[in-house]
Amino acid sequence: MSLFTKFDELDGRRRALLESGSKPFNVVVERIISPTEAIVNGRQTIMAGTNNYLGLTFDPECVAAAREAVTREGTGTTGSRMANGTFASHLALEDDIAKFFGRQFAIIFSTGYLANLGILSALTDRNDVIVIDGDCHASIYDGCKMGGAEVIRFRHNDADDLAKRMRRLGESARDALIVIEGIYSMLGDQAPMSEIAAVKREYGGYLLVDEAHSLGVLGERGLVEMADEHASVDFITGTFSKSLGATGGFCVSDLPQLDLIRLSSRPYVFTASMCPSVIASTRTALRVLQQRPELRDALWRNANRLYAQLSSLGYELGPHPSPVVAAVVSDINEALALWDGLLARGVYVNLVFPPATPKGCYLLRCSVSAAHTIEQIDKICAAFADAQKDFRASTAA
């Protein structure tokens, strides 16, 4: 067996895609124009798959802060905080994010993926149990695997199923770690926060909520704040790469043991730390998020409009409006045809394949931004309508 035999099936699927003429994984963004537009394949394209929820990637205050920091402190840290030292700006961002969430302690990571990987792998080992929602992000699964704990999945957003599995753990439930997300990234649905918290209070354990897609979207701070379940949640993780328009990740907690993760988390100890310009833009974006609630209003206006129009076209969507609006398609040929049709009409969305999707479906995943105009939202919907019409006509022929 060759080292590369494991890739044979993947290579076959890739070749089939290339033969179809569709290239969903080879898109090159040739030039960024704005938070919502870019040049793709030589065409001005509406970007409807960026997770740039508040549209802050081009915010003048954030750009100015990044420019000033890179001039003052250079382009990067060139190493981890353990090896090269902590910059004052690292501590300032940790202080900002802790105060923002009303928690005593915070630790930042170079990416949101590393935040989950670093926290979960350091918190648990083979003697522990982690109980996770079945639709959790890959970074959560990978963090669990890296730590070596026993992993028990409960049915997506099913608090009763969580309770059943916690009950089966008996005394072990008191030390189990429960992991959920505020908004799930594929269909945009929210965790039943109050019901999950009630299970945790009944059976014990610790609760970690990943607010990656809900920070700045569900209120300022995400689902925990919206459900008023602060006292039930022990750890909150998240990313700076969605609503805050940068890169990086974090974990906040009131448990002082969080600080020990700096000494035991390999993704923290052995990864180059956030660079000064990214820290500066993130700190500024965090302030803008709090000072400009109208951005969140615009985000939800666009999300509700897109959801309503795609629903009226007959597309199967997630259970309720969200800044993540994903059209569910069961057939790969239809998914490819629709995605190609959208791109040809100047609209870029995420085409998501199994196993990243729930129940083996295909998704045409849109993520809405506060920076999208009403006209752009309507153009996205018109492109969906035309692509759908063309596909139906081709299959009827």
- CB of 240 within 8 A of CB of 246? yes
User: For 165-208, what is each residue's pLDDT tens digit?
Assistant: 999 999 999 999 999 999 999 999 999 999 999 999 999 999 99
Q: Is 125 helix (H, G, I), strand (E, B) or coil?
A: coil
Give the C-alpha separation, 200 to 319, whole Å: 25
Provide the residue type at 84 as one letter: N
- CB of 57 within 8 A of CB of 245? yes
Beta-sheet strand order (sheet of 105-109):
105-109, 249-253, 235-239, 206-210, 177-181, 129-133, 150-154
Phi-psi region of 228 (alpha: psi -120 to 50; beta: other; left: phi over 0): left
Of the listed ranges 156-160, 169-173, 180-184, 391-395, the one predicted with least confidence: 391-395
User: For 233-290, what is each residue's pLDDT tens digit?
Assistant: 999 999 999 999 999 999 999 999 999 999 999 999 999 999 999 999 999 999 999 9
Q: DSSP label at 57?
A: G
Q: Which domains does the chain have, with CATH numbers?
A: 16-47+293-396 (3.90.1150.10), 59-291 (3.40.640.10)
pLDDT at 397: 67
Give the C-alpha separation, 301 to 336, whole Å: 29
Helix (H) or strand (E) holding 109, with range, is strand 105-109
Q: Is 278 helix (H, G, I), strand (E, B) or coil?
A: helix
pTM for this prediction: 0.95
Bridge-based pairing of strands 150-154 and 29-32 is unpaired
Mean pLDDT, residues 127-138 taken together: 97
Of the listed ranges 16-30, 111-125, 139-153, 234-248, the one predicted with least confidence: 16-30
* Two structure tokens written together for 104: 């005593």
User: For 40-64, what is each residue's pLDDT tens digit?
Assistant: 999 999 999 999 999 999 999 999 9
Alpha helices in 124-222 (DSSP H): 138-147, 159-169, 193-203
Provide the residue type at 141 as one letter: Y
pLDDT at 152: 98
